[in-house]
A = this chain, B = another copy of it.
Amino acid sequence: MISKSQISFIKSLQQKKLRKEHGLFTAEGLKSISEFINSEYVIDTIFYTENVMPKLGKLSHNIKQVEISTSELSKISALTTPQQLLALIKIPETRVLTPQMLKGSFTLALDGIQDPGNLGTIIRTADWFGFNRLICSEDTVDVYNAKVVQATMGSLSRVQVEYTDLQKLLQDCPLPVFGALLHGKSIYQTNFDVEGIVILGNEGNGIRPEIITYISHPVTIPRFGKAESLNVAICASIFCSEMRRNS
């Protein structure tokens, strides 16, 4: 059973401003919620429909549990097809990033990605390839947007995503800075070595000129056909694959 004010509170979390204000976001579905439970994220409440709770196993006493009907779930769900469970999860505190923290590994940095599906798919792909940190410029779509959370398929529980002023971060950065650009060295001839930041740009406009300035290694995925561009999540995946293929 869920009250009208709870319904409107949960629906309000579909807005970035209110997620920030309350420090909460929603995740849906058994797989996704299970993975958040087994991570460092703190679960506040789980709303569940009949018979589904045993599948989650034993839960900490700190997690509030509320049984609701299927029609109540459809009122709070952000999905077209609600999936039995919806959890309220605490947004972790943001950390101050320094280039030093990024040494010894590869980090994808997204400059202004707008499509929730693209960001979610990039997080899922980064997780597959074992990259557990992602940096986003401040104008990148919010990672706690329900569509992003959904598209990560649980991978958000393992990939740490930090929003930061990219330009500031890149100033005095001691790491190689790779950038996905249309005119760079072929990715197939690029030596990624052991560490670096890999910048991918906005869907329509690419990487901002003020960020391009900091790219020490412009890299291109060679084009063999006639498409004008590649989708940014596709681009990210080919970078992830190339960084791992010789490791």
- Chain A residues engaging chain B, CB cutoff 8 angstroms: 31, 117, 121, 124-132, 153-155, 158, 188, 221-231, 233-234, 237-238, 241-242, 244-245, 247
Contact across chains for B231 and A121 when beta carbons are under 8 A apart: yes
Q: Roughly how many angstroms separate A124 CA and B226 CA in the complex, as a whole number?
A: 9
A125-B231, A237-B238 known, 11 other contacts, Cβ within 8 Å: A124-B227, A125-B227, A127-B225, A127-B226, A128-B221, A128-B229, A128-B230, A155-B226, A158-B227, A231-B233, A238-B238
Q: Which residues of chain B come closer than 8 Å to A237, judged between CB atoms?
A: 230, 234, 237-238
Stoichiometry, as copies per complex, reads 2
Q: Roughly how many angstroms separate A125 CA and B229 CA in the complex, as a whole number?
A: 9
Q: Roughly how many angstroms separate A126 CA and B241 CA in the complex, as a whole number?
A: 17
Contact across chains for B238 and A128 when beta carbons are under 8 A apart: no
Contact across chains for A131 and B234 when beta carbons are under 8 A apart: no
Q: Which residues of chain B come closer than 8 Å to A244, judged between CB atoms?
A: 222, 224
Q: Which residues of chain B come closer than 8 Å to A124, judged between CB atoms?
A: 227, 230-231, 234
15 contacts between A and B (CB under 8 A): A121-B234, A126-B225, A127-B225, A128-B224, A128-B225, A130-B223, A130-B224, A132-B225, A155-B226, A158-B225, A158-B226, A221-B241, A234-B234, A237-B237, A241-B241
